Structure 1
Amino acid sequence: MAKSLRIDAVSGKMQERGWTQAHLAQQVGVSSQTVTNWLKGRDFPRPNALLKLAVALGLGFEKLVDTGDATEPVIAFRKKAGTKTTDHHISKARGMGHLLKPLVPLLPDTRPLRTLITSPDCEYGQLRKAVEQTRAELGIGQHAVLSYSHLIGQFLRNAAVLVPVLWGKKDRHENALHIRLPEEDVTFVYLNLDVRLEDFKFWIAHELAHVYTPELAGTDEGEDFADAFAGALLFPHECAEAAYREAVGKPQSGLIATLTRYAHQHQVSLNTVHQQVKRYAKNAGLSLLPVEDRTIHQVRNRGTGATVSEALFDPMPPDANKYISVASSVFQSEFFIALERLVKERDVGAGYVQQVLDVPLKDSVSIHRALAA
């Protein structure tokens, strides 16, 4: 169904603040006529304007926008070139979202001050500002290595529940799944641990961008911004500048060695460093480093690389108790704590566990047994 503004909610907040349409337009950065068109239902705000409108009025997305069904889960798969998210994928994920609803009352009832990026823009300067503000809130400088603990802590503070899963190696988009429940104002982020370590931090930062920009979740604009924000957050302008100045003028083997060293230092992929250095050079009007994207991919793909699951669990696969323990301790996830309460208090069976985790029945039985013990 088409989205529309909840005019009564907007008008009520304007009246409460004593704002005219002109004043609201000034706050959002649009013309008075644009606001008039919104309030008469002639037009709907673009994503950037919608986020600014939500912040200006102090209204959450679900109170500001009528989607036709406020209970319908919002789904976002990470976009990957050459792959397509089918109706089957979306339908299955929405089904998981509806099944997650009974877990929400069992999660900690915390309503922290959420972080919102009100002007999600892939333009270099705007992206740099967003990254500077985010890192400042995290208490780290622009040259500092962004740790997993910094990233993971942000999900907890923004009512987003990380759900680490063992889905095996995937070649498509299914390695990360974002399910937002607008009515409950909670987001579940599934992260596949069977992926390369060097890619994992990027994926977490990508999903964090979705949490910061809830209106863009499930849209192409949201995917583009999340990818751009993740790269810039993990390897900011200052790091890219330093890497460029150190690598420029070196033969190809030397510059690749330089970029690889920065990638290892920041625990990200060589491609992430290369792309951020390339964006820095383009923005600064400098010559690009003489190395093609395909060469970078060839270098990074020479070794298969350890997976997150292999780093966390020895031996593989882990037993259910170890898996649940790591989810709670390493990822600060309340998911299995809430699921355990559901299993014990409502006598929920292994079939439910299988559906909300999307795992084989054999694995769900083991997990259910561990939770019920």
Structure 2
Amino acid sequence: MNKRLNIELVKKAMDSLGFNNSQVSERLMVSRTIVGEWLAGKKFPRPDKLVRLGMLLRLPHSDLVVDDVPLEAAFNFRKKAHRALTDAHFAGALKKAMLLDSISDYLPDAALEVPPVLKRPLMDYAYIQKAVAMVRGLADKSLTDVINYSDLVNIIHAYDVVPVPVFWGVTSSKDNDAHALYIESPRSKREWMYINMDSYLLDFKFWVAHEIGHIITKCTCDVDLSEEFAELFAQSFLFPEEIAAKAYKDLVGLDANQLVAEMIALADPLFISPYTIYKSVNSYATENGYDQLEKLNSSYIVIKKYVEKKSTLIEKLRSDSAHSLAGEDDYLPPEVYVYLAETYFKTPIFDSLRKFLGETSRGDGFLQSLFDIQTVEAKELHYYLTH
């Protein structure tokens, strides 16, 4: 539900203080048209104008605004190819949050407590390394241990975040151009993480680690800062300072071709992208005033091909599963989708949906909007969950 002015109370305060629209517009340095649109409920004041309006009319924020911001869900995206966020992205996320809230009562009870979150996230390099050590500790991992896929899933569950595995394609040409989406909903007091199972294997770790960066900040910082923090956290989480320092000595001074070859050799046993190593090592160099690694330029294509050669997460999960679940390459039956999601991500969402759909008789359109899938896929999934 959108926030809006308590128009009746605002008008009453204006009358009491002898203000008309023109006087309010002069005091707040906006046009009379804007004030008229506020009082007609057509527009909502910007934060700075809202504060000044409250001061002018001597109204506390709780009286001035109805359905205030704390009741709105908070979102963080991991976009494909760093695509720009639009109003459509936020509208889609808000709709998903509302749908997720409607099934929240069918989930298992929330955890009584969760691990620590960062009260005041900082961009300081040393601070981020401490955050990395804290979160790695949740998976009983030292700063030199390899992070496995199961470790990431366990961390998500430790924070009582519900995984929502989806298939959103591997390129930005797909209809849904997000790799991951984290939703924190004050209404249901639940947190959700959409995870794109079509991600390339090596990218997947980074994108989930990126979303964990959002989880531990609990949306306490603005969008740009939150994204930057999550990026720096993810690269250091997968390739911490201790191993970045050692790698720097081996990588500095190499030309681009040599650099890529050495980073691939380092990345292979860790099962991460060489580009994650590149970013982490350069962050270490910046912190210590050292020279940056050679620019990759066109050599980046070699890394891209290396990552794509490893296939996607869903391809690996299907190959690791029983032969009877393999299915056709271009088709994933709903029973296989649900089995893989529940087995590897331990998500309770499908069991909750079974109960919700059974009691409410909601149709396949609900699933189509919830998972961003085609009509045919939604019908098949709906039939599987209700029979």
Please give the range of the TM-score, normalised by the shorter of the 2 chains. Answer: 0.7 to 0.9
Residue in 2 that maps onto 1:180 = 184
The farther-off stretch of 357-366 and 240-249 is 240-249
Taking the aligned partners of 1:263 and 1:176, their CA distance within structure 2 comes to: 23
1:294 CA displacement? 2.5
Identify which of 285, 296, 300 aligns with 1:297.
300
Amino acid at match of 1:77: F
1:60 counterpart residue number = none
- After superposition, residues 1-373 of structure 1 pair within 5 angstroms as 68-79=68-79, 83-111=83-111, 112-171=113-172, 173-216=177-220, 219-248=223-252, 250=254, 252-289=256-293, 291-303=294-306, 304-305=308-309, 306-313=311-318, 314=326, 315-316=328-329, 317-373=331-387
Calculate percent identity across the aligned residue pairs: 29
SS at match of 1:301: helix
The alpha carbon displacement at 1:211 in A equals 1.1
Structure 1 residue 79, shift from structure 2 partner: 5.0
Does the aligned pair in 2 maintain the 1:263–1:270 contact within 8 Å? yes
Q: 1:372 to 1:88 in 2, by over 3 A?
A: same
Distance 1:352 1:79, change over 3 A: closer
Q: Map Cα deviations across residues 120-162 of structure 1 (whole Å, 9 max, x no partner).
A: 2222111112112222333211111111111111211212111
| C-alpha spacing 1:180/1:211, structure 2 compared with 1 (3 Å) | same
Please say which structure displays the higher CA radius of gyration. Answer: 2
Identify if the C-alpha distance between structure 1 residues 174 and 341 changes in structure 2 by more than 3 Å, giving closer, same or farther: same
* Structure 1 residue 248 displacement after superposition: 3.8
After superposition, the C-alpha distances for 1:151-207 in whole angstroms (9 at most, x for unaligned) are 111211212111111122332852212222112221111111222111110000111
Structure 1 distance, partners of 2:209, 2:121, is 15
Segments of 5+ residues of structure 2 without an aligned counterpart are 5-50, 53-65, 319-325
C-alpha distance in structure 1 between counterparts of 2:77 and 2:144, whole Å: 30
Q: Counterpart in 1 of 2:22?
A: none
1:5: which partner in 2?
A: none
- Contact kept, 8 Å, 2:114 with 2:160, in 1: the verdict is no
Per the alignment, do residues 258 and 169 of structure 1 end up closer, same or farther by CA in structure 2, a change over 3 Å counting? closer
Over residues 294-314 of structure 1, what are the superposed CA-to-partner deviations in whole Å (9 max), with x where a residue is unaligned?
A: 245222123533112222234
Amino acid at match of 1:370: Y
Q: Give the root-mean-square deviation of aligned CA atoms.
A: 2.4
- How has the CA–CA distance of structure 1 residues 218 and 184 changed in structure 2, closer, same or farther, with 3 Å as cutoff? farther
Contact 1:271/1:296, CA 8 A, preserved across alignment = no
TM-score (norm 2): 0.74
How many equivalent pairs are there? 311
State the distance in 2 between where 1:273 and 1:321 align: 37
Counterpart residue identity of residue 374, structure 2:
P
Counterpart of 2:57 in structure 1 is none
